[in-house]
Structure 1
Amino acid sequence: MGNINIDDGDYDKRTAMHVAAGEGHAAVVELLCKSGANVNIEDRWGGRALDDAERSKHHECANILKQYGAMVGTRQKGEIENSSKRREVRNLEVDFEDLEMVDRIGKGSFGEIYKCTWRGTVVAAKCIQSSRIRKRWLHSQMMAQIKEGGDIDEAIAAMDEATSSQDEEALRDFRQEISVLKSLRHPNIVLLLAYSATKEMEVMISELMKCSLLDVFKAHIVNGTKMKKKDQIVFGKHLIQGMLYLHTSRPPIIHRDLKPANLLIDFSGVLKVADFGLATVRPDPVTQKDDTFMMTGETGSYRFMAPEVFRHEQYTETVDVYSFSMIFYYLLDGKPPWPTLNGLVAVRKAANDGDRPPIPRGWDQRLQSLLQECWSENPSARPPFRQILKLVNEYASDVFHQDSNQIQVVQSRETRSLFRSLFSSRGNKKSKQQAKSYR
């Protein structure tokens, strides 16, 4: 081995023996043992090679180590899990000063979104209304206005407004969204990259997205076009996949505020579920039909809200299935459910009169049946997302004669021109007003 110390470790004091045992390389473990390696050397958390071998069920490695006098380390299983969680938290927590603001790009239900640079990557930073990041943005705008001879009083007034006290309810929802997103990893869920929390401000850093599904709907309205059938199905499938992941997580997660504005689309045309401020985590049930978790209270956006939620009745995760049906109808029809009514009147018709949007006779019978099942007045009759995904995949294969993955690739190319028209039409006041009524 020359001048190399066989027991040298990395930053975490993990040696070649730790790695070989943990990955099941029995021949390497035996060679290291014969070469005089310390079989009981501990890493930074008190773990030994035998711990790694037994945890990964590499029995041959464990037996070799025991022959050379190896013993288990001083740390327990719970300590291992806790150290892993601590490392995960440290990786997510960042210093606000690491963010370099580029532009303010949007405003959410209780926060504002900024395009920022973070560790060399362009990201989205979402923060509550009165946070320090907003003040910083306004200050930069104020200085720019002053340099250009703009209205100084107006800029100062905006700064004063930014110093108003934080809305406690908004702050609570903001923290709830972070707590939910921290554990979620799925291609159809917006990815939380990091967050920063101080007494002065709280900000959530996530991947930067192109636009929302609502923006796409608006673009079609403005341009007088209709979404291609493939796009309708692909966006619907992306939503289904994201919701299936949430509902089958341990514990399951109920979104409770599904609507087009909360469904974001990335630069490749992939739709992702976002905005978890109203999401709730339900107890992890044993998979039985009679095992339910009931909630009450009016949460979410009216037009896409399940009737039982509006009526303040007990409800379960099937409220997300109802909301999906309304969004899927919007995708297929090009207009929202009850387009001539405002959201509150629409949900009253659904909840009090049992009304549902009219389904055109020309639609495929499978899609008609799916919508009717998903927006059923009886929550227990609504199908789970696993069943919905199976039906949509079968429909896509029959209609497009393609695998669902192939359909997604085609869709991402066809939406590029739509995205360009979307951003070029945002200055049209009349078009914006027209599109606003279709939320």
Structure 2
Amino acid sequence: MKEQKSESGGGYVRADQIDLKSLDEQLQRHLSRAWTMEKNKNRKEEGEDGGGGGEQLRSSSNTVRRQEWEIDPSKLIIKSVIARGTFGTVHRGIYDGQDVAVKLLDWGEEGHRSVAEISSLRAAFTQEVAVWHKLDHPNVTKFIGATMGSSDLNIQTENGQIGMPSNMCCVVVEYCPGGALKSYLIKNRRRKLAFKVVVQLALDLARGLSYLHSKKIVHRDVKTENMLLDKTRTVKIADFGVARLEASNPNDMTGETGTLGYMAPEVLNGNPYNRKCDVYSFGICLWEIYCCDMPYPDLSFSEVTSAVVRQNLRPEIPRCCPSSLANVMKRCWDANPDKRPEMDEVVSMIEAIDTSKGGGMIPYDQAQGCLCFRRYRGP
């Protein structure tokens, strides 16, 4: 994949200079070449490349880039499963002495999926790696490395060695012992969170999203389930499985991508969208952090879609919520994407909130003076 340099000479590729339709194919070819070169290197140690081919391989920038993010499987120990998904599992693990989370993606045994299906899954994997490995921010989960399955690879477990099927790959990231933000909110559903904690969690998430947007990255699945907490309760954005570089033309970004309840009206409606869809999702997350509750728990997919798009349905903001925070929610989930603030402005608004006088959500058993909800909401 030829490197495309921005006019400003910045350290990352500008989205408006990339043909997004061919990005996945380019990344897939890049990764395939990296594996091919490594195998050729092992087979031709004595300079049997011929015709200067070895020179070309050794000087290739692809080899250097591959080494930037590819893990050494011999240093990886995979432990217990901590989460399961459609295509794989997330495990606890140790990599080079460091606690890590290992995302194993199993695309099925050869012959059970079509070439097109496997190619699509591999393209999604390489896109996630390409997005993640260049990121460096305290509110974004640290990417450690990745590798794609090969018959030459073995993964260490506590029970010995296992081979990686050719249709399996893994992503290794820092382990966040605090678990998902959503789980933390569920644990505090009855007693709620202190206002200082609410604002700090919101600020962490806002800063992480502002950083991603500064890198022309739209996360597209912002939700509390995709936010992790480290040992100091710092929020870190995770799961870039559907993230992509933002297109200069919004018409290049369409389709229902995200999670029900957090998806912006334009996304639900299948209309073109941009980074402002993340701003909308942040507004829903902010409400969830404050209330420690779920948005629209009793509505079906079709009901939420219809009400959000056609009736401007939004979560009900409790009366006890300070206007400074309620204003951020309302601005972020405005039906018009152009009226939503940029994430760096959201950061500034949250930084300006005064937490010295409290203002957190009042627990249900103390809510005589605050009609926070018209009716009891389920867990």
* Shared fold (TM-score, shorter chain, > 0.5): yes
Structure 1 residue 387, shift from structure 2 partner: 0.8
Q: Which amino acid aligns with 1:212?
A: A
2:228 alignment counterpart: 264
Structure 2: how far apart are the matches of 1:189 and 1:170? 24
| Cα-to-partner distance string for 1:141-176 (whole Å, 9 max, x where unaligned) | xxxxxxxxxxxxxxxxxxxxx888466354443332
Counterpart residue identity of residue 228, structure 1:
A
Equivalent pair of 1:294/1:316 in contact (CA under 8 Å)? no
Q: Per-residue displacement from partner, 1:11-30 (whole Å, max 9, x unpaired)?
A: xxxxxxxxxxxxxxxxxxxx
Matched, 1:245 2:211: yes
Match of 1:183 among 129, 134, 138: 134
1-structure distance, mates of 2:301, 2:325: 24
In 1, Cα distance between equivalents of 2:111 and 2:319? 54
Q: In 2, distance between residues paired with 1:278 and 1:123?
A: 22
Inter-partner Cα distance in structure 1 for 2:214 and 2:310 = 31
Partner of 1:399, secondary structure, is coil
Partner of 1:197: 148
Post-superposition CA distance 1:391-421 (Å, at most 9, x none): 10010xx22389xxxxxxxxxxxxxxxxxxx
Q: Deviations over 1:241-284 (max 9, x none)?
A: 000001111xx00011111111111122111111111111025x
Q: Deviations over 1:73-123 (max 9, x none)?
A: xxxxxx9xx988854531421233331122211124533111112112221
Alignment partners' CA distance in 1, 2:208 and 2:86:
21
Q: Which residue in 2 is equivalent to 1:412?
A: none
Are the equivalent residues in 2 in contact too, given 1:126–1:203 (CA < 8 A)?
Answer: yes
1:89 counterpart residue number: 66
Equivalent residue runs for 1:305-324 within 5 Å: 305-324=263-282
Between the aligned partners of 1:267 and 1:246, the Cα distance in structure 2 is 23
1:296–1:313 contact (8 Å) kept in structure 2 = yes
Residues 250, 272 of structure 2: 8 Å contact kept: no
Picking from 347, 351, 355, the partner of 1:399 is 355
- The one of 77, 82, 95 equivalent to 1:118 is 95
Q: Distance in 2 between matches of 1:272 and 1:84?
A: 31
Indicate the structure with greater strand content.
2
Aligned position for 1:173: 124
For 1:208, give the aligned amino acid. Y
Partner of 1:213: 181
- Listed as ranges, the matches of 1:111-150 within 5 Å are 111-130=88-107
One-letter code of the match for 2:229?
Answer: I
Q: Write out aligned runs for 1:59-70 (5 A).
A: none
Aligned partner of 2:257 in structure 1 is: 299
Match of 1:277 in 2: 241
Would the alpha carbon gap of residues 188 and 234 (structure 1) be closer, same or farther in structure 2, given more than 3 Å must change?
same
Q: Name the structure 1 match of 2:13.
A: none
SS at match of 2:125: helix
Segments of structure 2 that go 5 or more residues without pairing to the other structure are: 1-55, 151-165, 359-376
Cα offsets for 1:206-232 (capped at 9, x unmatched):
1011200111122224xx321222221
Q: In structure 1, give the amino acid aligned to 2:187.
A: A
Query: Is residue 186–residue 293 contact of structure 2 (8 Å, CA) maintained in 1?
Result: no
8 Å CA contact 2:181–2:224 kept in 1: the answer is yes
Q: Which has the higher helix share?
A: 1
Amino acid at match of 2:281: S
The CA distance in 1 between the partners of 2:181 and 2:282, in whole Å, is 13
1:382 aligns with 2:340: yes
State the match for 1:254 in structure 2: 218
Measure the CA separation in 1 of the matches of 2:127 and 2:239: 10
Instruction: Decide whether the 8 Å contact of 2:88 with 2:104 is kept in 1.
Output: yes
Tell me how far apart the structure 2 counterparts of residues 84 and 171 of structure 1 sit (CA, whole Å).
21
What letter is aligned with 2:141? V
Listed as ranges, the matches of 1:32-47 within 5 Å are none
Task: Among all aligned residue pairs of Structure 1 and Structure 2, give the percentage whose two residues are the same amino acid.
Answer: 28
Rg bigger for which structure?
1
Per-residue CA deviations over 1:24-45 (Å, capped at 9, x if unaligned) read xxxxxxxxxxxxxxxxxxxxxx
Provide the rounded CA distance (Å) in 2 between the counterparts of 1:266 and 1:165: 38
Per the alignment, do residues 164 and 257 of structure 1 end up closer, same or farther by CA in structure 2, a change over 3 Å counting?
farther
Contact 1:239/1:271 (<8 A) preserved? yes
